Amino acid sequence: MMPVAEETVFFDSGPLRLEGRLHRASGPDAVVLTHPHPLYGGAMDNPVVIAMARAYQRLGYSTLRFNFRGVGASGGDYGDGVGERDDAVAAAARLSRLGKTVTDLAGYSFGAWVNLGLHPPLATVRRQVLVAPPVLFMEFAPPAAPPAELAVIVGDQDRMAPLATLRALLPHWHPAARLCVVTGADHFFGAALDRLTAQVEVILMGRS
Task: Tell how far CA 75 is from the center of its chain.
Answer: 20
The upper half-sphere exposure of residue 207, i.e. CA atoms within 13 Å in the direction of its Cβ, equals 6
Residue 198 lies in a domain: yes
> Residue 54 is part of a domain; what is its CATH number?
3.40.50.1820
Residue 200 has phi, psi (to 5 degrees) of: -60, -45
Residue 38 lies in a domain: yes
Residue 57 lies in a domain: yes
189's torsion region: left (phi>0), alpha (psi -120 to 50) or beta? left
Domain of 194, in residue numbers: 7-204
Whether the model clears a pTM of 0.75, i.e. scores above it, the answer is yes
| Total H helices, total E strands in the chain | 5, 8
Per-residue pLDDT of the chain (208 residues; tens, 9 = 90+): 456 799 999 999 999 999 999 999 999 999 999 999 999 999 999 999 999 999 999 999 999 999 999 999 999 999 999 999 999 999 999 999 999 999 999 999 999 999 999 999 999 999 999 999 999 999 999 998 899 999 999 999 999 999 999 999 999 999 999 999 999 999 999 999 999 999 999 999 985 4
Residue 42 lies in a domain: yes
H/E element, 62: strand 62-66
Closest CA to 187 of 138, 113, 139, 134: 134
**Buried residues in 15-54 as b, exposed as e (16+ CB within 10 A):** ebebbbbbbbbeeebbbbbbbbbbeeebbbebebbbbbbb
Please tell me the total count of domains within the chain: 1
Residue 112 lies in a domain: yes
H/E element, 23: strand 16-23
Q: At what angle do helices 47-58 and 193-204 cross, to 10 degrees?
A: 40
Residue 185 lies in a domain: yes
Residue 2 lies in a domain: no
Closest CA to 29 of 122, 124, 106: 124
Residue 123 lies in a domain: yes
